[in-house]
Structure 1
Amino acid sequence: MMPDLTEYLWIVWLVLALLFVIVELLTLEFTFLMLAAGTLVGGLGVNLLGGPWWLQVGAAAAISALLLFTIRPLLLRALRRSTGNAKTNVDALFGIGGRVLAPFVDGAGSVKLDNGETWTARPAAGVADASLGPGDRVTVAAVRGATVEVAPATAQHEEEAEHG
């Protein structure tokens, strides 16, 4: 006599939910998380209450669709709102302060920026080489490839750098 396979349908619901969670960990878009929740609440829930297999599938599909169209957009909006538009890489260098390490000779020198990086530098347009000596505070005016253009720091920038 063959066993009734619908008696073991709860295992299928658990495996399917676990599979959806694993895929969600790879995608991070909340789609498969909603499917996993629908699978657990709808499919497994109706199974544990003794519902027929077609009702289990229908409940899982309905709850998954409900979650996808109601909860998922709210989660995505909250996730995207919390991540600010932080400047990174070269964009983060504009306006950062630093100190001149080596004197400027023929328009080229060296500066150590407040983020700890040492850059080849040249004076910004309208700034003379002689006005920037070792130890002077500067501000990055532009980034040109692997060279930063710097200008003397204003008094406001110097106070901010000294007081953190």
Structure 2
Amino acid sequence: MKWDTVTEALSRLYPQAHPWHVTYPAEGFALPAASAYPADGHWHYVSYGLGERHGFELTFRVAGVGEQPPQWPFLLLNQVAALAALAGEAGEPFEEGQWADLGAPITGHPHTDGAPTGLTVVILAADPQLGGSFLQLVGVTAAEAQAGEVDSDDPLLVTDPARA
């Protein structure tokens, strides 16, 4: 998936939005770039650069609004992208329904601007608005992951770190 394809898909969802863009240093990071789009009551993050190697991009929706997006989700995207690269090298590509236990808060607390949370696992789901070539990270507790639970009350699967 080319970068223009990612940008076009998000621009269709958020035609008036002014996204925040970050680039990652080439050394030590799995992603070249990511963006955060302000949405209704949340920020919608998307990775750039995985599609060309793995056939999908990562997305993540985090509850909250403000003039600037939280920075910790950019680090989370990179962390999961690194796991996707390792899995791909091992012949076990990431796909919908899989999950990764990060062994620490998904917010990166206390090493980032993220708040403490009991959410330590991300489950991969098809992004509800962008489809299967965009795998959305959904933050859950370890117990929820073991039970295979994802908050089905929210059709957009927005992660709220304050809930756990």
Q: Which category of TM-score, normalised to the shorter sequence, fits these structures? A: under 0.3
Normalized per residue, the structure richer in helix is 1
TM-score when normalising by structure 2: 0.21
Q: Which has the higher contact order (CA 8 A, sep 6+)?
A: 2
Q: For the pair shown, which has the larger CA radius of gyration, 1 or 2?
A: 1
TM-score when normalising by structure 1: 0.21
